[in-house]
Amino acid sequence: MTVMTFRQALHDTLRAEMLRDENVFLMGEEIGVFEGSYKITAGLLAEFGEKRVRDTPIAEEGFTGAAIGAAMLGLRPVVEIMTINFSLLALDQIVNHAAKIYGMFGGQATVPLVIRTPGGGGQQLGATHSQNIELYYAFVPGLKVVAPSTPADAKALLLAAIRDNDPVLFLENLALYNTKGEVPDDDTPAVIGKAAITREGSDLTLIGYSRMAYVAAQVAEQLAESDGLDIEVIDLRSLRPLDRETIIESVKKTHVAVVLEDDWLTYGIGAEIAASISDGAFDYLDAPVRRVAMAEVPLPYSKSLETAALPSTEDVINAIYQTLEAVGKRRTKIAQDS
């Protein structure tokens, strides 16, 4: 195991896959000479040259379409779209082409394409640069959508995405880039579509992905120390396919669930998870599934307003206790004061 940042795990995995397979190449705005807006691709242009690290114009529809064509012909492009907000400019290419080519042409062509793109608020980037719009893509059959929350999963899921023969949208939250964790030294890819139980417990199931899976792990540890709560934490890791089985089996054990997401509540990922729990574990539920999400507003630029709009640790703790109190479990004085 090696301790590294989320950012470094992505960089090292890209480099290792480019060394392993000469068909892997990178495309994106400012990823070469400037070494990437987030320095994920630092040093790769110097090592691999312009043929395999390709700076693109500010034309998301154009270079995403070019990458789809390259993938159909046997290459394995990894496209960096500077922010998921800009992916809207390539929506037709992603939804109407990348996602549908395999099915429309009877499997005659595959699209082994990875689109890496960061999102999320908290960076004072304004309403049009701070969104989590992964729901747009998780909705679409033919795409795979993954969202790591740890450096280890950043590596394992990126390995899986690059080696997959289907198009994969690889979500990165800006707030996670500098987080650190242990990363295995081997190159074993994750299984796309398999959630991880990052903490086992029996009192409540806490479900999140990306930044909110990170927050969930912190909250569960905090409440274990302050109030002796035994919370099970599920990191979804994959939004399409969604691991409903792991979620349902956990809720059958704990009988209560809280779902976290860094997005708007209405029509969100959390709604899909809550519906899945209702379908698969309704008879086991002792309280309604509670959801925690951001305020339903375009995210403000003002730091204080932005912070108020985003889901916080306090929001998560309150939702947990409101759920537990519905089944007769009261928070202790320690937890109330924490």
CATH code assigned to 2-183 = 3.40.50.970
Residue type, 161: A
Kindly give the parts of the chain with pLDDT less than 50: 333-335, 337-338
d(CA 290, CA 271): 10
Tokens matching residue 229: 């709560």
pLDDT given for residue 334 in this prediction: 41
pLDDT given for residue 79 in this prediction: 98
Q: Model confidence over 197-251: pLDDT tens digits?
A: 999 999 999 999 999 999 999 999 999 999 999 999 999 999 999 999 999 999 9
Burial class of residue 64 in the structure, from the number of CB atoms within 10 Å of its CB (0-12 exposed, 13-18 middle, 19+ buried): buried
Q: Model confidence over 11-38: pLDDT tens digits?
A: 999 999 999 999 999 999 999 999 999 9
> Does the annotation count 97 as an active-site position?
no
> Does the annotation count 245 as an active-site position?
no
pLDDT given for residue 336 in this prediction: 53
User: Among residues 164, 157, 211, which one has the least CA distance to residue 187?
Assistant: 157
d(CA 156, CA 322): 35
**Of 17, 35, 60, 80, which is the active-site residue?**
60
Global pTM value = 0.94
pLDDT given for residue 316 in this prediction: 97
**Of 11, 17, 129, 272, which is the active-site residue?**
129
Per-residue burial over 181-191, b if 16 or more Cβ lie within 10 Å, else e, is: bebeeeeebbe
pLDDT given for residue 18 in this prediction: 98
pLDDT given for residue 338 in this prediction: 45
CATH code assigned to 196-337 = 3.40.50.920
Residue type, 336: Q
